[in-house]
Amino acid sequence: MRPEILNPLFCSIDTLKGIGDKYLKLVANLIGGSKIVNILWHLPYQIIDRSYNVKLLNVEAGRVWTGIVTVTQHLEPKTKKQPYRVICDDETGDITLNFFKYYDNTIKKQLPLGQKRLISGKTEWFNGQLQMSHPDYITEPENIQKIKKTEPVYPLSAGVTNKMMLFYVAQSLERLPVLPEWCDENFIKQNNFGSFNEALKKAHNPLSVDDLSPLSSVRKRLAYDELLANQLSLAIARMRQKKKNGRIISGDGRLRQKLTQNLGFDLTNAQKKVLEDIYQDQKSDYQGLRLVQGDVGSGKTVVAMFAMLNAVESGAQAAIMAPTEILAKQHFETLSGWGNITGVKTALLTSKIKGKKRAEILNNLKNGEIDILIGTHALFTDDVTFKDLGFVVVDEQHRFGVEQRLKLSLKGNNPDIVVMTATPIPRTLVLTRFGDMDYSKIDELPKGRKPVDTRIIPISKIGEVVAALKRKIDNGARAYWVCPLIEESEKSDLAAAMARFEELKALFGDCVGLVHGKMKEKEKDAVMERFKKGEITILVSTTVIEVGVNVEEATLMIIERAERFGLSQLHQLRGRIKRGCEAGNCLLLYGYPLSDTSRERLNVMKACEDGFLIAEKDLDLRGGGEILGTKQSGFEEFMLANLEFHKDLLYTAYKDAQLILNQDPELKTPRGEALRVLLYLFEKDKDFKTYKA
Ligand code: ADP
Ligand code: MG
């Protein structure tokens, strides 16, 4: 239950004066919610200085001026195009107020002849006269106190003016209750933070541009509160996860030994280290949930195999889930080979496998005949029952949200779960998106990997690129041709790929294939399959090329308009040609004009093959959403924090959350109670409830 003290903040904004039905929707859309808190989280990004009030004679045109004038003349327009003009003066000079949209009566009422009025707005010099069009304020002189000398400016949208926002914010701040302090006292002192209330009030009443900076103590305090709520809720989720009973899995090593002896290569130290982490999860009595990150080609599959063998050694079954049929099939090829070496029974289950064969597999799963099952996500939605599922690997599934992880963890006998991803995820994102999971990183590639030769080429030289492609294809190579990402619509994306496909087909004939996002999964798989078999040697695609698909003969990657892609995306694409024994070539074609940053980004690609480094750079340049493949930025989930500036605060919040839960896991101390208020304030109670399950 939400602490009562927060109730005033969770009232609907329709309880504010001046909103009514008319503006409710507009404001809610703007602030991203319909509660009072949403107004409070909507912070100003600029200020208008209304303290400038020299005499009219001395006004520097262009500045916002605020002062008291006497209305001396009304000039009604002679034609429709002319503005309604009102001339005002002080003892030193005059100013013309222009109204392009107006009702005579209002203007006459607002600016009665001979009266003094307070006006404020942007001045300009026009036709030899000082002018002001549509003053922001026209009011009686005694209201001067009501106008803030420094006026915050809010992000706005059509139909919602800054004046309205000022009015709503002022009312909302009045409802702000005095909240208990949830931050550590020393931390507050060290950072010169005020209380949350003070910070929020100051954030809405900036005195100078410095107060708007993400690095101001006011903004930092608020950012910290939000980050702490985020980290604490994730840490609680993780703690709960760890309390769930899991299976104790600790094999005797006989199968793993066999595999080690016959593998043909030694595991890298990084692979060994990550395996130790996984064995630890398996051995413990809690249900493990671990994210394993490893760059393309770092050898995640074999790590999965060893961990699965551990489960099989101790009498349990294991499953590995791939995002697509073709990847599942590919895993099956690899894993069944290793299964034969070790005498472990593997099976493939996808939606393509039907009828008798399917029934047989299901039966053998139930009676424990099958040790390791390989499949797509259908594994978990279908009526598949295991005899004793002890370990699950989810491969290449970084788009897998907290909720999905939760659902998965509720299946079977609380098997330990490992989620593997090839997308190098920077630490900030790991903490904010995957903070409910344990985390390991394969931070080393097997020895002897050949570097990819990456070139940056202007699209105008496409003729030479095609000639190079022809030479390679004639020599038996296979190539990917990735078509540009077009922001505006998916349709034009597809159109570009189709056009390129037709062009290449005219030159190369039937060995050119096309895959795109609008195709059905089955159709895509069929084309990929033909590419694998070599019936197709040039594969034109939008960016859908399957993550992780192994086509060893593919050594050439051509990416059109590479400047439009995220760096991590380019890295992933380039990873496709690092799988064979021959060194690959990657051609990044760019269009004009190429901005300096774009050039810099492409140069990063040329110079660097370390996915983690690239991801960090990408994060700095494009924001987290691109890395995780979602449209919106990964950091947009924060309203007050901005990880471009508040990384340090995130790490502190992470540590703070750990410390808090170590000392007060139930949040029962006075600080714990205050932290509960914090969690509800930032609406983390949803996670809270889900995880109670
Ligand atoms: P990814 O992490 O991209 O899924 P894979 O598991 O597909 O990578 O491995 C890529 C290739 O590297 C495979 O052919 C695999 O057998 C091989 N490999 C994995 N680990 C090692 C190692 N330690 N030494 C040499 N080759 C390895
Ligand atoms: Mg893989």
Domain end position, chosen among 589, 608, 627: 608
Reported as a pLDDT band with limits 50, 70 and 90, residue 351 is confident
Question: Is 50 exceeded by the pLDDT of residue 690?
Answer: no
Spatial CA neighbour of 634 closest among 423, 323, 443? 423
Residue 295 CA to ligand 2 center (angstroms) comes to 9
Nearest ligand 1 atom to the CA of 302 is: 6
Render the burial of 466-493: b for 16+ CB within 10 Å, e for the rest. Answer: eebbeebbeeebbbbbbbbbbeeeeeeb
Report the amino acid identity of residue 609. E
pLDDT tops 90 at residue 429: no
**Residue 174 is assigned to a structural domain of this protein:** no
Q: What is the pLDDT of residue 692?
A: 38
Dig out the tokens for 260 from the structure: 């080690």
Residues in the chain: 693
The C-alpha atoms of residue 493 and residue 504 are separated, in whole angstroms, by 17
Ligand 2 center to 552 CA (angstroms):
14
Structure tokens at 348: 């493939």
Q: 178-182, 389-393, 458-462, 625-629 — which is least confidently predicted?
A: 625-629
CATH number at residue 90: 2.40.50.140
- Within-domain flag for 19: no
CB 249 within 8 A of CB 311: yes
Best probe residue, ligand 1, of 273, 293, 301 (max atoms within 8 Å of C-beta): 301
| CA of residue 321 to ligand 2 center, whole Å | 11
Total number of domains in the chain? 4
Tell the residue nearest (CA) to atom 15 of ligand 1.
299
Whether 351 and 431 map to the same domain: the answer is yes
How many angstroms is it from 485 CA to the middle of ligand 2?
Answer: 25
Residue 422: which CATH number? 3.40.50.300
Examine residue 512 and state whether it is found in any structural domain, yes or no.
yes
Residue 240's pLDDT band, with cuts at 50, 70 and 90, is confident
Shared-domain flag, residues 482 and 436: no
Amino acid (one-letter) located at 441: K
pLDDT for the residue numbered 438: 87
Residue 160, pLDDT score: 93
Structure tokens at 278: 């996984």
**Alpha helices, DSSP H only, in 509-576?**
521-533, 567-575
Ligand nearest to the CA of 292: 1
Provide the token pair at 570. Answer: 């380019």
pLDDT of res. 551: 84
Q: Please enumerate in sequence order all residues whose Cβ is within 8 A of that of 627, keeping only pairs 6 or more positions apart, or say none.
A: 423, 425, 426, 429, 566, 568, 615, 618, 619, 634
- 300 alpha carbon – ligand 1 mean position (Å): 7
Closest ligand (CA of 546): 2
User: Exposed, middle or buried by CB within 10 Å (0-12, 13-18, 19+), for 333?
Assistant: exposed
Residue 640 covered by a domain:
no
Domain boundary among 608, 631, 656: 608
Q: What Cα–Cα distance (Å) separates residue 239 from each residue in 282, 441, 522, 666, 688?
A: 17, 21, 40, 11, 11
Residues 386 and 269 in one domain: yes
Whole-angstrom distance, CA of residue 459 vs CA of residue 590 = 5
Tell me the C-alpha distance between 614 and 492, whole Å.
Answer: 28
Question: Tens of pLDDT along 160-176?
Answer: 999 999 999 999 999 99
Q: Residue 598 pLDDT more than 90?
A: no
338: pLDDT confidence band, cut at 50, 70 and 90?
Answer: very high
Segment 510-545, tens digit of pLDDT: 999 998 877 887 888 889 889 989 999 999 988 766
Tokens of 170: 């002022």
Q: Give the domain extent around 669.
A: 197-243+646-693
Helices (H) and strands (E) in the chain, counts: 25, 21
Residue nearest to atom 14 of ligand 1 (CA): 579
Do 222 and 138 share a structural domain?
Answer: no
- Give the distance between the most distant pair of CA atoms in the chain: 102
Task: Tell me the C-alpha distance between 371 and 367, whole Å.
Answer: 10
Same structural domain, 354 and 425: yes
- With 70 as the cut, is the pLDDT of residue 276 above it? yes
Q: Is the pLDDT of residue 110 over 90?
A: yes
Residue 361 counted as domain residue: yes
Is 527 within the bounds of a domain? Answer: yes
| Structure letter (DSSP) for residue 10 | G
> Distance between CA atoms of 560 and 541, rounded to whole angstroms?
11
Distance CA 277, CA 374 (A): 23
Q: Whose CA is nearest to atom 23 of ligand 1?
A: 267
- Read off the pLDDT of each residue in 436-465 and give the average, rounded to a whole number: 90
Determine the straight-line distance between the first and last CA of the chain, rounded to whole angstroms.
Answer: 16
- 253 falls in which pLDDT band (50, 70, 90)? very high
> What's the number of CA atoms in the CB half-sphere (13 Å) around residue 41?
25
* Pick from 622, 621, 539: nearest CA to 576: 539
Is 604 found in the same domain as 462? yes
Mean pLDDT calculated for residue range 351-356: 86
Shared domain for 423 and 507, answered yes or no, is: no
Q: Which ligand is nearest to the CA of 578?
A: 1
Q: Is the distance from CB of 599 to CB of 569 less than 8 angstroms?
A: no
User: Is residue 354 one of the residues assigned to a domain?
Assistant: yes
Please give the residue that has the higher pLDDT: either 264 or 427: 264
Measured from the alpha carbon of residue 295, the closest ligand is 1
Is residue 447 packed enough to be buried (19+ CB in 10 Å), middle (13-18) or exposed (0-12)?
exposed
- Supply the residue whose CA is at minimum distance from atom 19 of ligand 1: 299
Q: For 249, phi and psi rounded to 5 degrees?
A: -120, 120
Between strands 512-515 and 538-541, the pairing is: parallel
Write the DSSP symbol of residue 286.
B
Q: Which two tokens stand for residue 359?
A: 């029934």
Contact indicator for 636, 625 with CB cutoff of 8 Å: yes
Q: What is the pLDDT of residues 174-233, one digit of tens each?
A: 999 999 999 999 999 999 999 999 999 999 999 998 999 999 999 999 999 999 999 999
Final residue of a structural domain among 608, 629, 660: 608
Residues 490 and 430 in one domain: no
pLDDT band at 626; cut points 50, 70, 90: very low
Identify the band that residue 86 occupies on the pLDDT scale cut at 50, 70 and 90.
very high
Tokens of 293: 């990150």
Q: How many angstroms separate the alpha carbon of residue 579 from the centre of ligand 1?
A: 9
Residue 179 is assigned to a structural domain of this protein: no
In this structure, the dihedral spanned by the alpha carbons of residues 302, 305, 310 and 313, taken in order and rounded to 10 degrees, is: -130
Three-state SS across 462-498?
HHHHHHHHHHHHHCCCEEEEECCCCCCCHHHHHHHHH
Q: What is the pLDDT of residues 467-491, one digit of tens each?
A: 999 999 999 999 999 987 655 555 5
Atom 9 of ligand 1: nearest residue by CA position: 299
pLDDT at 334 over 60: yes
Q: Separation of 298 CA from ligand 1 center, angstroms?
A: 6
Same domain, 436 and 476: no
| Mean pLDDT value across residues 266-293 | 93
**For residue 637, what are the contacts with CB-CB under 8 A and spacing of at least 6?**
432
* Residue ID of nearest Cα to ligand 1 atom 24: 446
Q: Which of 265, 291, 306, 320 to mutate to test the pocket of ligand 1 (most atoms within 8 A of CB)?
A: 265
- Shared domain for 206 and 326, answered yes or no, is no
Q: How confident is the model over 380-402, as a mean pLDDT?
A: 76
Whether 93 and 130 have beta carbons less than 8 Å apart is answered as yes
Considering only CA atoms, which residue is closest to atom 25 of ligand 1?
Answer: 446
Q: Quick one: tokens of 338?
A: 């290793």
How many other C-beta atoms can be found within 10 angstroms of the C-beta atom of residue 264?
A: 5
Instruction: Select, from the ranges 246-250, 254-258, 557-561, the one with the highest average predicted confidence (pLDDT).
Output: 254-258
* Sheet of strand 585-590: strand arrangement: 453-458, 585-590, 554-559, 478-482, 538-541, 512-515
Ligand 1 binding residues, C-beta < 6 A: 265, 267-268, 271, 294, 296-302, 422, 446, 548
419 and 270, same structural domain? yes
The predicted structure's pLDDT at residue 214? 93
| The pLDDT of residue 687 | 56
Mean pLDDT of the chain: 88
Q: Distance between CA 473 and CA 664 in Å, rounded?
A: 64
Indicate the residue type of 293: Q
pLDDT score recorded for residue 693: 31
Whether residue 140 sits in one domain with residue 111: yes
Buried b (16+ CB within 10 A) or exposed e, 174-188: ebbeebbbbbeeeee
Centre of ligand 1 to C-alpha 555, Å, is 17
Task: Tell me the C-alpha distance between 223 and 221, whole Å.
Answer: 5
Residue nearest to atom 26 of ligand 1 (CA): 446
Residue located nearest, by CA, to atom 13 of ligand 1: 299
**Which of 302, 553, 612 most suits a substitution to test ligand 1, by most atoms within 8 Å of the C-beta?**
302
Question: What is the secondary structure of 644-690 as a DSSP string?
Answer: HHHHHHHHHHHHHHHHHHHH-TT--SHHHHHHHHHHHHTTTHHHHHH
Residue 393 has pLDDT above 50, yes or no: yes
How far are the Cα atoms of 385, 392, 615, 687, 691 from residue 663, in angstroms, in the given order? 41, 32, 35, 21, 20
Q: What is the pLDDT of residue 398?
A: 52
What pLDDT, in 10s, does the model give residues 657-672?
Answer: 999 999 999 999 999 9
Task: Give the angle 40-235-664 at the CA atoms, nearest 5°.
Answer: 95
Given a contact cutoff of 8 angstroms between Cβ atoms, the answer to whether 640 and 681 are in contact is no
Which residues are paired to 124 by β-bridges? Answer: 131
Element (DSSP H or E) covering residue 37? helix 36-40
